[in-house]
Amino acid sequence: MKDSNQMKKIVLALFIIMVGSLAIGGSLLAIFTPRGVGGEGHNTNLWSLKSNLGTGYEHKIDQEEIITITDISNITISTVSVPIRLYVVEGTGELKAHYHGSVQTNGTPPELEVKQSGNEIVVKENRSQKINVGFNFENLSMDIYLPKQYQNELSLYSISGEVVMDELQLREIEAETVSGKISLDGAILERGFFKSTSGKIEINHYSGELMGETVSGHVAVELTDLEDEIAINSISGEINVVLPSDSSFELTAKSTSGKITNDFPMTINGKSKSNTLEGIVGKGEHNLELKTISGDINIGY
């Protein structure tokens, strides 16, 4: 009797293995079978299986929108998982957005949306709210061509894509990512705010007031001149600041678990502490505040 029961269990196990193998084999065949199976437009059972599994189809995307910037005081650009690259161009009074690349999905592919509301322009991805279960792949970019004469406010947001900018001259900029690098090379601003939850902030040849925040990421800033307040905070990341050699500032630098180095001759305020450096360089004309919980702080020229 025991042998009979054991044999039944073995047979049942083999049957389950066989069914599972057939299911996996059919799935793989559906995924890797060329699209033309069964002739053009012929819907075979294999492709029905592919659609149900959510492997989707590849869509080529190449969309452009152009809009005038006359009387515009704010431009907002946002993406979900697509890098934003901003280019400053001469000789045009129009903003151009170029959304391009490819995406494989079983749902509706994303689209470029550009609209104006009053004195604001909004550029964004328009994505379906439907949740697609399966393998979805994309390789997309959002390129923004900003006229040089636009010098008002600019906001850029990306959830999981980098933000890359250069040669900006604006009143104010705000750039924020959840998981992506922020890179800026060349800027003259009245005010800049940069925030990354999990990504590096790298700013070079910068002039103007600057505020930077990261949760998990390094911050590297190089200033062409120091004429305004600089405040940088990081929870887990190194802070590196390079200033002109003739800079005049009052420094507050604090690192809970990291070292602090400073290349400038400084008059120390109060007693020196291992995790805090406070003092005056030159006449102490501008505030430089650098704080991190876990990471080194380096100030140089």
Average pLDDT over residues 46-58: 52
**Coil, helix or strand at residue 134:** coil
pLDDT of res. 274: 77
Q: Spell out the residues 6+ positions from residue 178 whose beta carbon is closer than 8 angstroms to its own.
A: 158, 159, 160, 196, 197, 198
Please say if the pLDDT value at position 129 is more than 90: no
62-102 confidence digits (pLDDT tens): 999 999 999 999 999 999 999 999 999 998 899 999 999 99
- CATH number of this structure's domain 58-300: 2.160.20
Please say if the pLDDT value at position 106 is more than 80: yes
Average pLDDT over residues 153-165: 97
Please say if the pLDDT value at position 14 is more than 80: no
Number of continuous H segments (helices) and E segments (strands) in the chain = 2, 20
Q: Using alpha carbons only, what angle is made at residue 83 by residues 78 and 88, rounded to the nearest 5 degrees?
A: 80
Q: Spell out the residues 6+ positions from residue 269 whose beta carbon is closer than 8 angstroms to its own.
A: 278, 279, 280
- Give the start-to-end residue ranges of the domains of the chain: 2-53, 58-300
Average pLDDT, whole number, for the chain? 85
- Cα distance between residue 151 and residue 169, in whole Å: 6
Q: Spell out the residues 6+ positions from residue 115 whose beta carbon is closer than 8 angstroms to its own.
A: 121, 122
pLDDT of res. 228: 97
pLDDT of res. 190: 97
pLDDT of res. 24: 45
Q: Which pTM does this prediction carry?
A: 0.80
Name the pLDDT band for 150 (thresholds 50, 70, 90): very high
198-242 confidence digits (pLDDT tens): 999 999 999 999 999 999 999 999 999 999 999 999 999 999 999
Average pLDDT over residues 91-117: 94
Q: Judge contact between 279 and 265, C-beta under 8 A.
A: no
